[in-house]
Amino acid sequence: MSNPRSLPPILAVLVALSAQPAVSQEMAQVRLLPGWVTESGSRMIGVEIALEPGWKTYWRAPQGNGIPPTFNTAGSTNLAGAEVHWPRPVVFETYGISSIGYEDHVIFPMELMPEVADAPISLTLELFFGVCQDVCIPAERSLSLEVPARIDGASHSGVIRASYDSRGVPGAEAGVTGYACAISGTGGTRAVDMTVRFAVAPPQLQTVVLESGSDLVWMTLDSVSASGPLLALSGEAVHAGGAEGALDPERMRLSLIGDGPVIELTGCPPA
């Protein structure tokens, strides 16, 4: 399995700023798709990115030289909050560097929580994302959508739901029976050791991603090994600038990406 190292956030920004070409509308077409009203009253829509053949875009933790997409809903009205659900990504290589994302086409389900339940949401979305073929290029799109309080039979519900259903699953649904974590050391770099126990042997994995939950702390995994039902991982957390920084164990997330569903384990429970 591959274990690409994350770029520090500042380097990801420099990669974006140093890219010279602009992403044309033909290279990356973006639109908002109406979906449905959930049982809780939130409204599900889709953010679709359709790329020219051979082009790729990125997952929330792309690794390598990837640029993660960001979704800014400032300026929307009757919107209390929004949550992006990340569909299953693939692992690909560009110039021998592994990254995680999507090839040719992706729909990001976005769940909108209204402030007033029986009123429409006027969504304004500023999308920043990266695309990659021979070079990696940052892109921006400004989109808007009027989302009514009731959405009946939206034509795009099926494709949004298929993307939503491919999102990561919690460990309990994937046969994880135990999960423990230890963080040691002081200063800007901290050692992280984890063990994940499955009811049976762990699935065949392509890559493993550890996220800190903070833009100021990036994570790397140095080793991943399996023995029977036990998966052991070790790596480190590095605070930006090398300064002492709080690493919040509750915000950490481990993603196991293989042939089956993406397995997501949230938090760093002590051994």
What are the residue ranges spanned by the domains of the chain? 9-165, 169-266
What pLDDT digit, counting tens, does each position of 8-18 carry? 443 444 344 44
Residues 6 or more apart whose CB falls under 8 angstroms from that of 183 comprise 190, 191, 192, 237, 247, 249, 268
pLDDT reading at 72 higher than 90: yes
Side-chain half-sphere CA neighbours of 233 within 13 A: 28
pLDDT reading at 74 higher than 60: yes
pLDDT reading at 174 higher than 90: yes
The span from the CA of 115 to the CA of 112, in Å, is: 10
Q: For position 24, what pLDDT does the model report?
A: 56
DSSP 124-148: EEEEEEEEESSSEEEEEEEEEEEE-
**Architecture field, domain 169-266:** Sandwich (2.60)
- Bridge-based pairing of strands 189-198 and 230-239 is antiparallel
Exposure string over 14-38, b if 16+ CB within 10 A, otherwise e: ebbeebeeebeeebbebebbbbbbe
pLDDT reading at 6 higher than 80: no
Q: Higher-confidence residue: 102 or 240?
A: 102
Range 102-125 average pLDDT: 97
**Architecture field, domain 9-165:** Sandwich (2.60)
Q: Dmax of the chain from CA atoms?
A: 55
Among the ranges given (28-42, 90-104, 169-183), the one the predictor scored with the smallest mean pLDDT: 90-104
Q: Say whether 169-266 and 9-165 share the same fold.
A: yes
Exposure string over 213-252, b if 16+ CB within 10 A, otherwise e: bbeebbbbbeebebeebebebebbbbbeeeeebebeeeeb
Joined tokens for residue 261: 């569903």
